[in-house]
Amino acid sequence: MAIETRERPRVSEEPQREPQLGAHLVLQALVREGVEVIFGYPGGAILPVYDALPYYPIHHVLVRHEQSAAFAADGYARATGKVGVCMATSGPGATNLVTGIANAMMDSIPIVAITGQVPQSVIGMDAFQETDITGITLPITKYNLVIRSVDEIGPAIQKAFYLARTGRPGPVLVDIPKDVQLTKGFLAPRQELNLPGYRPTIVPHRRQIRRAAELIRRAERPLILAGHGIIISGATEELVRFAERTQIPVGLTLLGIGGFPASHPLCLGMVGMHGHAHANRAIHEADLIIGIGMRFDDRVTGRPSEFAPNARIIHIDIDPAEIGKVLKTEVPVVGDAREALRLLLEEIEPLEHEDWLSQIRSWYRPIRTEPSGPDGVLQPQYVIARLHALTEGKAIVTTDVGQHQMWTAQLYRCDIPKQWISSGGLGAMGFGVPSAMGAAIGRPEAEVWAVVGDGGVQMTLNEFATIVDEQLNVKVAIINNGYLGMVRQWQQLFHNRNYSETPISSPDYVLLGQAYRMPARRVTRPGEVDEAIQWARSFRGPALIEFVVNQEENVYPMIPSGGSFRDMIDDTQIEGEW
């Protein structure tokens, strides 16, 4: 059990008198950046840092696979708004981080990955456990670097954290050769960073704000699409004020969930491939789209040429490269979402859109949440709806990727930011359990539910051991339909029901839970759902519930990949088939 008994000295603010090993300087630099937790896994090339680790006030979480270290750092960052840190050795340790780093890149998550590297004397010699990790992660990091000498440790780590958390956040990898860790030196004081090529625009240009306000004033059917940028910049309050003042409805991207309260009358819920029908119809009919902190991902737009065909576009984003990438933008606003909304609020007077809002309301049809399907089998949507009801919508919810993810996105109606943690851009299966670990470590007071599929959970269920070691308040809800469900749904709809390699077996999750010393239950009938959820909530610490659900249930509505709103498949259309 990872219970800390060793006394941990505070890092002194005094200048060092004696030179210290680079490994110590690395940890001192991390402590200086406010790091309290590292998710990691030791190995040869990072051993000096692990040797020094017990002497610093950093809680190290020993994961069971480095991929989970990166996912956990990601979940920690999303739940807390701080920079998440993962650490691994060279070679396989470093390459195992890759999926998690790519995930953080796609979803703009601030993480810093520390990797050990073989000594510089053998770099390039194909040494044992050597890989060119900076080369490998070049396209999936915001920045990466190799520390070449002990003097660079302080500035490099300072730079890594600064880059990870500022502007459009993202992952930064710092590779540290073993000889640097073993060389003695001094930690350079924090200093002004000279980064002439890195100057993110925070406050948008006033003229663009005026142009945006003018378009908003003239629009009859405006719609806000709020993305992850709202949560990153902490713009929820400003967005609520702006939406209320202008009476403009708000659709959320998958990662925007929680950025605007789901219970707010102006909230339309999620948009896109599996978005609510009324929300997507609103996009289709809108005459103005205001995209804020979102990137018009293809899971949102479908076929770009038919996305919002009647609308002019205002796009607010901190990353200028996102503007005009997918859609022709009439008013580009480069800057932080919160700053942009503040300026817009100064610019714009109260507006009314009663006709438009009542039109959208008339299109509303709730997502179906019947307890059981045609054969009396448990329906997955019901499980999520009950989870939402019993936790009063207040839990932190993480997911893997697939059908359960979409049902949770549709039905776990989040009211506050940093509550919804899901792999959006990369769509990484196996994300749910380790990201829940990160969230639970970062927010120990929170109730954390990892809603996962039977496919995804089998990618990272080794982390049950970590959850139990750390006694995290993580409740794992496995939605087991015996299939790689979302792939099966695509096979059903677009590949003539050829269920090639999508039926997947599972271990006995209750026995598995016991094997990991994790209380576990199985639920097969609607009547057992509430009791099981309440059971898991009745104690602090890990719990596992397997919900055995209707195997061939689909996620609706659905806009097929590359389609438009007109191609939407709704559950009513296929009802006769069941």
Partner 1 sequence: MVTVRSHTLVVLVEDKPGVMNRIVSLFRQRGFNIDSIAVGHSETPGLSRITLVAQGDDRKIEQLVKQLYKILEVIKITDVTDDNPIQRELALIKVTATERNRSDIIRLVTDVYQARIVDATPDSLVIEVTGSPEKVDSLITMVRSYGIKEIARSGVIAMARGARVVAPAAQPVVA
**Which residues of the chain form contacts with partner 1 (CB under 8 A)?**
134-135, 138-139, 143, 158-159, 162-163, 190, 192-199, 319-321, 323-325
- 């440790």: which residue's tokens? 153
Q: State the nearest-atom distance from the C-beta of 195 to partner 1, in Å.
A: 5
SS3 472: coil
Q: What does DSSP assign to residue 320?
A: G
User: Which listed residue (128, 220, 244, 573) is catalytic?
Assistant: 128
Please, how many CA atoms are within 13 Å of residue 121, restricted to the half-sphere of its CB?
Answer: 3
The answer to whether residues 181 and 23 touch, using CB atoms and an 8 Å cutoff, is: yes
Please, how many CA atoms are within 13 Å of residue 207, restricted to the half-sphere of its CB?
Answer: 0
Q: State the nearest-atom distance from the C-beta of 154 to partner 1, in Å.
A: 12
Closer CB to partner 1, 174 or 559, in the complex = 174
Closer CB to partner 1, 193 or 389, in the complex = 193
- 């939605």: which residue's tokens? 479
User: Which listed residue (82, 142, 159, 178) is catalytic?
Assistant: 178
Q: State the nearest-atom distance from the C-beta of 37 to partner 1, in Å.
A: 22
Closer CB to partner 1, 34 or 139, in the complex = 139
User: Which listed residue (20, 120, 129, 247) is catalytic?
Assistant: 129
Q: Which residue type, as a one-letter code, is found at position 250?
A: V
SS3 158: helix
Q: For residue 544, give the H/E element and its range.
A: strand 543-548
User: Which listed residue (28, 33, 39, 66) is catalytic?
Assistant: 66
Give the CA dihedral 106, 107, 108, 109, nearest 10 degrees: -120
User: CA-CA distance, 531 to 533, in Å (whole number)?
Assistant: 6
Burial class of residue 196 (count of CB atoms within 10 Å of its CB; 0-12, 13-18, 19+) = exposed
The answer to whether residues 371 and 553 touch, using CB atoms and an 8 Å cutoff, is: no
Q: State the nearest-atom distance from the C-beta of 25 to partner 1, in Å.
A: 18
Closer CB to partner 1, 138 or 203, in the complex = 138
Catalytic residue flag (residue 379):
no
Region class of 477: left (phi > 0), else alpha (psi between -120 and 50), else beta: beta
Q: State the nearest-atom distance from the C-beta of 126 to partner 1, in Å.
A: 20
Where are the extended beta strands (E) located within 41-187? Answer: 59-62, 84-88, 111-117, 143-146, 172-177, 184-185
Region class of 274: left (phi > 0), else alpha (psi between -120 and 50), else beta: alpha
Closer CB to partner 1, 34 or 135, in the complex = 135
Catalytic residue flag (residue 129):
yes
Closer CB to partner 1, 121 or 572, in the complex = 121
Closer CB to partner 1, 163 or 316, in the complex = 163
Catalytic residue flag (residue 28):
no
Q: State the nearest-atom distance from the C-beta of 76 to partner 1, in Å.
A: 22
Q: Which residue type, as a one-letter code, is found at position 281?
A: R
Catalytic residue flag (residue 486):
yes
Closer CB to partner 1, 118 or 164, in the complex = 164
Q: Which residue type, as a one-letter code, is found at position 117?
A: Q
437: tokens are 């670990």
User: Which listed residue (106, 486, 558, 568) is catalytic?
Assistant: 486
Q: State the nearest-atom distance from the C-beta of 265 to partner 1, in Å.
A: 37
Closer CB to partner 1, 15 or 135, in the complex = 135
Catalytic residue flag (residue 66):
yes
User: CA-CA distance, 220 to 352, in Å (whole number)?
Assistant: 9
- The strand pair at 448-453 and 520-523 is best described as unpaired
Q: State the nearest-atom distance from the C-beta of 356 to partner 1, in Å.
A: 32
Q: State the nearest-atom distance from the C-beta of 554 to partner 1, in Å.
A: 34
Radius of gyration of the chain from its Cα atoms, rounded to whole angstroms: 24
User: CA-CA distance, 392 to 381, in Å (whole number)?
Assistant: 16
The answer to whether residues 456 and 481 touch, using CB atoms and an 8 Å cutoff, is: no
Burial class of residue 573 (count of CB atoms within 10 Å of its CB; 0-12, 13-18, 19+) = exposed
Active-site residue set: 66, 128-129, 178, 486
